[in-house]
Structure formats: structure tokens, C-alpha cells
Chain A
């Protein structure tokens, strides 16, 4: 034992596969723990979509006797709620960690490649999952929607995967700005995009030019997928999933290139 320990000063000790996997796991665990314990992060992410959904999706729809509208509202607020953990979890934390020196320290330490991003991604997926579950519970108990188990699961999976393009976008924004300016800038992305994608006012009620440009925004495609999960749309979902995948890859690579260049 002692010999092996001494050897560390002269010989490189190989990192076993098991320990490497353990390092990825620890990173993800720490990242999740860290944010789930931060009320300043979790509360707005959970409460904003929940409160908006209760106001516009439950109270306003009530009495209209329109189950279709209530479902549509759920699909909208799920998409709206899923955007936040991605944008803010990645964007704000990256901007603050670049500013506070944590990112530099991580780069100097032998953190396995990609563990930092992977950990944040899992954290965002977990937070997105919580948002979807919360909205589902509200929809079933308060709005009285009947949702099958399959629909609920599809919505949950859509939300957890659907957070990824917003992680990539948030990360890209996080490379543009350092420190406390990030939340403001991200809100300027978040709220207008939600509106332009028809999450607040249904697209048919929007002006022609906004209806035409809506497919430019990833939130629009996510909304199509959440509608499909709730049985509001028929037809192929692959176009929208593909659009989101391309968007994710482009912004992820762009952000990683910027991080490597500008630190």
C-alpha cells in the first residue's frame, strides 16, 4: 500500500474505469444537490409556471366547459416551464461560475472531460422533470383533466429531453456575459421567445408575421411536442424533434468553442 502511494510522486497512476465513472457520477450528484438546495433557483422555476398555469389554464378556463382548451393550456405551460431550468440552470450558473473563478479552478483540476456540462445537463433535466410533474398534478387535481398514464409519461419525457436545447442556448448566453448581468439578459430571451412561439397567446390569435416566424424558435417546436404528448396533434413529431436536435448541437458546439476561446 505504502509503495503504491509513494509511487504517485514519480509515476502516473492510471485512473481506473470504475473511478472515472464514479467521478462523472459524483459531479452529477453534486450539481443536482447544489441546485435542489438553492431556493433562489428552484422556487422561481417551479412557481412561475405553476402560478401562470393556475391563473390562465385553470381559473380562466374554468366554466368554459372546454377540456380541449384546458389541455392546450397545459401543453403551453409545460413548454414554458421547461425552458427555465435549461436557460437559467446553464446560463446563469455558467456566467456566475466564469466570474467567480470556479470554472477556472475546474479547468485546472483533473475533472474528467465534459463532466461539468454533463452534471449541469442532468440537473436541468431533473428540474424540468419536477416542473412537468407539478403541472401534471395541478392539471389533474385543479383543472380536472383526465390524462392517461402513457400521456403523462410522454409529457414527462418530452419535458426532460426538451430542456436540452434551452441548456445549449443558456450556455451560449452564459459565454457572452459574466456574473450578475446574466439573469436579466436571459429573461430578455426567455419571455419574448415564449410569446413569439405562441405559449401565452395561441398562434392563430397572433399577427401573420409572428405566425410565420414562430418556427424559428425552439420553444415553438417544443410546444408542438407537448401538444402531441397530450393527444392534441396528430402527425409526425420527428420534424420538430429533429429541429430541436439540430438547434441543440449548433448552440452547444458554438458555446463550447466560445468557452475554449474566451474562457
Chain B
């Protein structure tokens, strides 16, 4: 296999159980260079277990986990990854600069300190002790530690929790920069808009299995509905009879029409039937709706 095509991280038929609970249930997953893979799923879906398995922190009960085609527990392959975990209390009395220096020393060819600090947006707090930082600043420092070794693949477990909007957008920018350099990113997040904005591929997990996999658009297409909202005097019961209309609801003076068909014709017919129609709003189902529907289907199954 060509080295460029080789996945940088992979799970092959991995099973992980905690007592009676099967957290990961025969999962296959591949991460390729230069892609940003978002792992989504409700709590307990197995996202963090997947990350821990890929990092070699957990051993699979069956199947195998690989980083760059090798066992993740080998220190040589870990020198090619960067990690930001959900919670890690770093040494409180060390300064940010010292934390960066220490972490960079683990890697064969790290970025220089100023560049890591700039990418993560921590240049202004380099001289501060870690304990004196705000929650958002701490997360940014952890991000700086994850990227300082010039990793080939970066694992980010809920990286933007506790960040304000500015900090979050800055982190998104940094992630894009890294992906542009050829780095692969594995991201778990609760913020769907984050996956929507960043991910080149989305994997939705539920009960330790892959529910869906593909680009954001593919996933959105899974829920092919559009929501039309307007103020109109047309009777809801009449619109409900039109072709392509799935459901009509009245919310205050607004009508909410859910359609699964081509929406342009429906809008034209609405405007023709009620010239006084106003406040028109047409919105395609986003990742959030798709995600909700996918996980609900999985629950029902």
C-alpha cells in the first residue's frame, strides 16, 4: 500500500466492554491524512472510548487499533500524534512557557515555541502560571501542547468546551491551518455547528456502532426535509393536502410547513395562492436535525 494512502489512525473490528456494557461494538474506522474527522454521538455513544482506543490508553477486547499501521502503545508512533483530552489538570505552578517547553521536548522535531503559542493564541499568557489562567485560556494552552510536536494526527476530545465565541473561532482557524499543512484531525464535539463548519467527514456513533458516515452534506441529505415558515391566511388543512407537504403546524400567527420534496415549486404555489404572504423563511435541515433523527432511529431500532 502506498504510504500516502495508509490511514494515519484506524480501528479494525474493535470491541471494548466495561463489565456488561459494550461501549464499542465491532467498530471500523479509518482516518486519513489531511482530513478533519468529526466523531459525533450522544453521551455514551462510544466517542471517548474510540479516542482512548486509538491513543492506546485502552486495549481492545477484540479487533485492533492502529496508529500509522502500528500498535498505538509504541512510543515511536505516539511521537507523531498530538492529544487534547477532555479533562487534564496540568501542573498548577508551572508557567505556560515551561509547559510548552516540556511537551515539545518529547517530540523529535517540534515547532518553535513562539509558533505554537501563536497558533493556539496563548502568546500573551506565556509567562503566567497555569493555575492563574481562566478556563478558556487553559483549554487553549492544552491545545498548544497538542500541536507543539508537529503531529501527523491530532486528537481533540471536546476541545472548545468552556471557550467563548472568539476563542472558539480562533481554534477553528488553527485547526484549518493544521489540516492545510496535511495534519489529520480527529475531533469529538457536542457542538454540531462545529462539525458543520470544520469537518471534511462526519461519523455518527450510537451504542458503540457507526450509524452514519460521510461528508456533512451526505449526512444532511439523510434528512431531506426543508422547513418553510411564513405568515399567511391560507388554511393549514388545505396546504397539508398539497403534494410534497409532509406536515403543517400553526405556531402563533406563523405557519410551519415541513416538506421533503423540491421546495421551489411549493414556495411558488404558496406565493401564488396568497399574495399577502409575508415573513417567508426557508431553511434546509441542518446537521442538528439529521443528527437528532439518526440517533432517534437508532434508539427505536
A residues near B, CB below 8 A? 4-6, 8-16, 19, 22-23, 25-27, 29-30, 33-35, 37-38, 96-97, 100-102, 104-105, 107-113, 263
Contacts and interface: CB of A to CB of B under 8 A. Distances in A.
B90 interface: yes
Contact of B33 (A10, A29, A112): A10
A113 B76 CA distance: 11
B57 A19 contact: no
Interface string B62-93: 00000010000001111111010111111111
B132 to A, nearest CB: 12
B83 A109 contact: yes
Contact of A9 (B75, B78, B86, B152): B152
Contacts of A101: 85-89
Contacts of B34: 9
Give the interface SS of chain B, mostly helix, strand, loop or mixed: loop
B85 A108 contact: yes
Interface residues of B, number: 45
Give the interface SS of chain A, mostly helix, strand, loop or mixed: helix
Contacts of A105: 83, 85, 88, 90
Given A38-B93, A102-B88, A109-B103, A30 B98 contact: yes
A30 B103 CA distance: 10
Contact of A23 (B85, B91, B105): B105
A12 B79 contact: yes
A144 to B, nearest CB: 38
Contacts of A6: 182
Contacts of A4: 109
A101 B77 CA distance: 21
Given A5-B150, A22-B105, A113-B75, 20 more contacts: A8-B152, A9-B152, A9-B182, A10-B4, A12-B76, A14-B108, A26-B102, A27-B102, A30-B91, A35-B93, A37-B94, A96-B89, A102-B90, A102-B91, A105-B88, A108-B85, A108-B155, A109-B83, A110-B78, A110-B81
B294 interface: no
B172 interface: no
A33 B79 CA distance: 25
A10 B106 contact: no
A23 B90 CA distance: 17
Nearest to B155: A108
Nearest to B99: A30
25 contacts: A5-B109, A8-B109, A8-B152, A9-B33, A10-B33, A11-B3, A12-B68, A13-B109, A19-B105, A25-B105, A26-B101, A26-B102, A38-B92, A38-B93, A97-B89, A100-B89, A102-B91, A107-B57, A108-B57, A108-B83, A109-B103, A110-B79, A110-B107, A110-B149, A111-B106
A95 to B, nearest CB: 12
B248 interface: no
Nearest to A106: B88
Interface in B1-33: 3-4, 33
A108 B78 contact: yes
Given A9-B183, A104-B88, A108-B56, A30 B109 contact: no
Contacts of A96: 89
Given A5-B109, A10-B3, A10-B33, A104 B102 contact: no
Contacts of A26: 101-102, 105
